[in-house]
Amino acid sequence: MRALGCVCTLLLVIVLLVSNMTAQLETALWWQSLTAPLETDVQQMLMHYSLLPRIGVALLAGAGLGIAGVLFQQILRNPLAEPGTLGIAAGAQLGITLATLLVAAASETLLQLAALLGGLLAGGVVLLVSWGRRLSPVTLILSGLVVGLYASSVKTLLALFNHERLQSLFLWSSGMLNQYDWSQVQFLWPRLLLVLLAVLLMLRPLGLLALEDSVVRQLGMRIVLVRIGGLFLAVALTAMVVSCVGVIGFIGLFAPLVARLLGARRLLPRILMAAGAGAVLLLLSDQAVLWLARVWVEVPTGVLVAVIGAPVLLLLLPRLRHQQVATDEGGVVRAERQLTPSRWALLLVALAGMVLLALWLGEPGHWLTEPQIVAQWRWPRVLSATAAGALLATAGVVIQRMTGNPMASPEVLGISAGAACGTVLLYVFLPGELGAWRFPAGVAGAALTLATMMLLARRGGYHASRLLLVGMTLSTLYGTVLTLFLVSGDPRISGVLSWLSGSTYQVTRAQTWWTVALALLAVCVTPLFTRWLTLLPLGAVTAQSVGVPLSKARILMLLWSAMLIAAATLCVGPLSFVGLIAPHLARLAGFRRALPQWIVATVAGAAIMLLADAVGRIILFPYQIPAGLLATLLGAPWFIWLVRQAR
């Protein structure tokens, strides 16, 4: 059966190659275009300098990603490790973006060095976070995906101020294999050969990493040096591929899997077979893109690979052993505090003072003196930011207590990204004024995400780690869809990009009142879930033994969270991490019981988003940093710190 699958794949590649080459070169002198094309024959020139180099780059890049995937999985002992899931590809892309902006005419060598430094920095952060937890597969994947999201947020911030300059870069970095000469082939093949030779020299120590650390130490091998050396080779290989063809995910995951399915158990056969499998898979995807361009529309190769790869990754997640994530803040136990009336009044007074400050604070060093400006422009964005923060905090408390996992949040689980993707797809398929349909589209996207999570996590009893990994994978898929829209050339890109980054200065009065009304509804409805929110963190067995209907409770709370998240996402974008930060602030303050934690977290979430909106408005005046994006730049490091501190 496996041999039949390989034969069918190769036949499909050959059919697509013949079809695309025939469409490109209609004459019978195809052999002449391989070696000495006629300068007067445009078809032969396109064949020699475009299609053939593209085939070569696809083979070399696919082989490089396959080798990098094997190295990551072997060194980290993680079957889901690859450049995309570890955040290394996103770090390399951010390095190229910064080099493009900082240097007027960046050379190829400088861009490659920037990609290498960005990949090394991202990989170093992921390893630093997960090293204390013995490179746990769950910790590695979560840290890598969050680092990738953080790098994407920084890239989005740069794009807001340099959209015209970076648009072509983003189009290329989404995984474009278009070629105009043989320079990329000439760049890749000698470096790929050097990395392969270095891997062969380290083959024996790399192979021993599959054993337990204690056994390896008894053999006299320095594990740290071998791991660092192997990871450097894998990161360097990834950075070289990213600097040539952009970010192409999941090839580094599929190629080692195909090698294992074909019976490769030892390291050297696995490396060679993964290189061949990666080359064939990427060539197949790229030729499929060329065929789609002739019959329908052209899409970046990286997008097609991600659209196919994310569902496959979801199918592979059940193979990962469940590992419970720690549920305390570094093991510190704080005394429980009571939410007395005086403390409750102090919270409200502090929030009201922040609202007044945000309303009347103008440009740095100035105060507004015209009430009509406050009434017309400030009230909608201040109320929207406050209500959205409260909604995200409420959803964060519900999700964290429901899953028993303090690292869960609407952003981490991909629910916010699902709501944003549903809204963007509405813009794509239904042009025109769609203000009334944005909220239903966002709720549909969030609900579909939750339904997918429930379906895929059901086999594991809705285990926290399974929910987290499924959510982060869905976030990657949604990010790919959003990237496809951003590089489509649609004239509404700038407005959508501003909204995705979490801007509140385009919020309408009608949307403001809807958001505030839903926030008030959340204040009335969420206390009804107090008993469930108190018992579910104790575990499924304990909660069920005292009469909690598990399935009903989870479905109702997830649907309720979807509505809250969709409404907040329409105001502040899909990434803010307020749903992660606010519940932790309440817990760190000593409010750990369900109802007090929710109340304090709601006020904290409203204050955080209100503060982010005000600071983002004045810090670079007259330019503005969107509130959601500014909260993300602070929230992602908080998440990394929580993972690092967890025991």
Residue 224 CA: distances (Å) to CA of 14, 186, 610, 643? 44, 34, 45, 22
Using CA atoms in the order 150, 156, 162, 167, what is the torsion angle rounded to 10 degrees?
Answer: 120
Helix axis angle, 550-572 to 627-645, nearest 10°: 140
d(CA 308, CA 283): 14
d(CA 171, CA 152): 14
If asked whether residues 311 and 398 sit together in one domain, one would say: no
Q: CB-based burial of residue 615 (10 Å sphere; 0-12 exposed, 13-18 middle, 19+ buried)?
A: middle
Residues 591/344, Cβ–Cβ less than 8 Å:
no
Whole-number pLDDT of residue 34: 75
Q: Structure tokens of 127? A: 């390893």
Q: What stretch of H or E contains 402?
A: helix 379-403
If asked whether residues 311 and 432 sit together in one domain, one would say: no
Whether the bond between 79 and the residue before it is cis, its omega within 30 degrees of 0, is no
If asked whether residues 377 and 274 sit together in one domain, one would say: no
If asked whether residues 384 and 505 sit together in one domain, one would say: yes
Residue 16, in any domain of the structure:
no
Residues 316/79, Cβ–Cβ less than 8 Å:
yes
Question: For residue 485, which of 422, 411, 410 has the smallest C-alpha distance?
Answer: 422
Residue 239, in any domain of the structure:
yes
The tally of domains found in the chain comes to 2
Last residue of a domain, one of 284, 301, 319: 319
d(CA 317, CA 309): 12
If asked whether residues 95 and 161 sit together in one domain, one would say: yes
Residues 287/16, Cβ–Cβ less than 8 Å:
yes
Last residue of a domain, one of 319, 346, 376: 319
Whole-number pLDDT of residue 490: 63
If asked whether residues 310 and 366 sit together in one domain, one would say: no
Whole-number pLDDT of residue 521: 93
Q: What is the DSSP letter of 218?
A: H
Residue 329, in any domain of the structure:
no
If asked whether residues 313 and 366 sit together in one domain, one would say: no
What CATH number corresponds to the domain at position 108? 1.10.3470.10
d(CA 178, CA 290): 10
d(CA 140, CA 133): 9
Residue 33, in any domain of the structure:
no
Q: Could you tell me which residues are beta bridge partners of residue 361?
A: 367
Whole-number pLDDT of residue 421: 84
Residues 110/76, Cβ–Cβ less than 8 Å:
no
If asked whether residues 467 and 572 sit together in one domain, one would say: yes
- The residues near 18 (Cβ < 8 Å, ≥ 6 apart) are none
Residue 2, in any domain of the structure:
no
Question: For residue 402, which of 579, 150, 634, 226 has the smallest C-alpha distance?
Answer: 579
d(CA 450, CA 455): 9
pLDDT averages per 10-residue partition of the chain, 647 residues: 81 90 70 74 85 94 94 84 82 89 80 88 85 68 77 80 71 78 93 94 90 79 86 90 86 87 89 94 91 81 77 63 40 61 85 81 64 69 90 91 77 79 78 68 81 71 64 74 67 66 73 88 91 85 84 83 84 77 84 90 90 82 77 76 67
Whole-number pLDDT of residue 486: 65
If asked whether residues 396 and 544 sit together in one domain, one would say: yes
Residue 23, in any domain of the structure:
no
If asked whether residues 199 and 122 sit together in one domain, one would say: yes
- The residues near 251 (Cβ < 8 Å, ≥ 6 apart) are 62, 65, 66, 69, 82, 278, 281, 282, 305, 309
If asked whether residues 442 and 580 sit together in one domain, one would say: yes
d(CA 368, CA 361): 6
Question: For residue 65, which of 253, 200, 243 has the smallest C-alpha distance?
Answer: 253
Range of the structural domain that residue 305 is part of: 66-319
Last residue of a domain, one of 260, 287, 319: 319
If asked whether residues 183 and 262 sit together in one domain, one would say: yes
Residue 53 CA: distances (Å) to CA of 179, 237, 482? 6, 19, 29
CB atoms near residue 30 (< 10 Å): 15
Q: What stretch of H or E contains 595?
A: helix 594-618
CB atoms near residue 388 (< 10 Å): 36
Type of residue numbered 80 = L
Residue 175, in any domain of the structure:
yes
Residue 512, in any domain of the structure:
yes
Q: CB-based burial of residue 215 (10 Å sphere; 0-12 exposed, 13-18 middle, 19+ buried)?
A: exposed
171-44-244 Cα angle (round to 5): 30
Q: What stretch of H or E contains 161?
A: helix 137-161
Residues 427/434, Cβ–Cβ less than 8 Å:
yes
